[in-house]
């Protein structure tokens, strides 16, 4: 009697972290450590970058006319208008579109710079090992928290027709203006910005294998340098008011 050889069942290996890009959009809010553990092995860039960019564009597109009206109220702009003549609706619309696109582009550059700064601090100063793509993925998912803050405030801004509605200490500034130094400093102490820095710190500690406190430090140093740049820009612009 011949022995019958049972055919082996060949199973296809499951795709690791299937759907991680999309799941991470929600997971970063409630389980950042778990998300970044998976990101360390399989960093995601496209989806979080796309979602972040679309949210920021949607917010700035919604407030574009408020931004233009605020710009036209600036004394230096009004002085130029006296020589240029009346601003037509077509010119205002062009300015509004330009502002929305410009601010979206600026925000899209920020994760690239933040990842570079984190690489500098984490790899060169603290001697850790990480790839730029891993750090960029952490920054992008962290930025989704910042974007969520913008999205949350949008209905209040539109309802009050006021760009300076904020969850930051900027509400305490006597003069609320993006070119005002005190407002620029205090507005960085925002609930969602602090949350973002903490989450990014968690991500950096996971990527580098550092203690959590060191991850927080690198996050503060990286995001803080961007904040200082924004404040310095506000101070310089105030000299030309």
At 175 the pLDDT is 82
Nearest to 115 by CA among 132, 129, 128: 132
At 140 the pLDDT is 97
At 8 the pLDDT is 47
Q: Do residues 219 and 118 make contact, with C-beta atoms less than 8 angstroms apart?
A: yes
- Distance CA(177)–CA(116), nearest Å, equals 30
At 87 the pLDDT is 74
Q: Do residues 214 and 126 make contact, with C-beta atoms less than 8 angstroms apart?
A: yes
At 7 the pLDDT is 47
pTM for the structure as a whole: 0.85
- List, run by run, the mean pLDDT of 10-residue segments along the chain (241 residues): 46 59 95 96 96 96 91 72 71 89 93 95 94 97 96 94 88 79 83 95 96 95 82 57 47
């Amino acid at each position: 009697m011949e022995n019958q050889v049972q055919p082996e069942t060949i199973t296809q290996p499951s795709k690791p972290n299937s759907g991680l890009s999309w799941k991470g959009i929600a997971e970063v809010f409630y389980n950042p450590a778990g998300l970044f553990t998976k990101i360390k092995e399989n960093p995601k860039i496209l989806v979080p970058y796309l979602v972040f960019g679309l949210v920021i564009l949607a917010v700035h597109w919604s407030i574009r006319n408020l931004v233009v009206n605020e710009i036209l109220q600036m004394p230096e702009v009004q002085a130029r208008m006296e020589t240029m003549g009346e601003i037509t609706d077509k010119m205002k619309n062009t300015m509004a579109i330009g502002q929305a696109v410009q601010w979206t582009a600026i925000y899209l550059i920020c994760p690239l710079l933040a990842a570079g700064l984190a690489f500098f601090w984490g790899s060169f100063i603290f001697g850790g090992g990480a790839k730029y793509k891993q750090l960029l993925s952490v920054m992008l998912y962290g930025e989704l928290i910042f974007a969520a803050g913008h999205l949350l405030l949008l209905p209040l801004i539109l309802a009050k027709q006021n760009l300076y509605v904020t969850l930051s200490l900027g509400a305490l500034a006597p003069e609320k203006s993006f070119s005002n130094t005190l407002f620029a400093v205090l507005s960085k102490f925002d609930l969602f910005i602090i949350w973002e820095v903490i989450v990014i710190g968690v991500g950096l500690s996971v990527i580098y294998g550092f203690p959590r406190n060191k991850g927080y430090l690198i996050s503060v140093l990286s995001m803080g340098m961007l904040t200082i740049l924004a404040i310095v820009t506000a101070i310089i612009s105030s000299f030309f008011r």
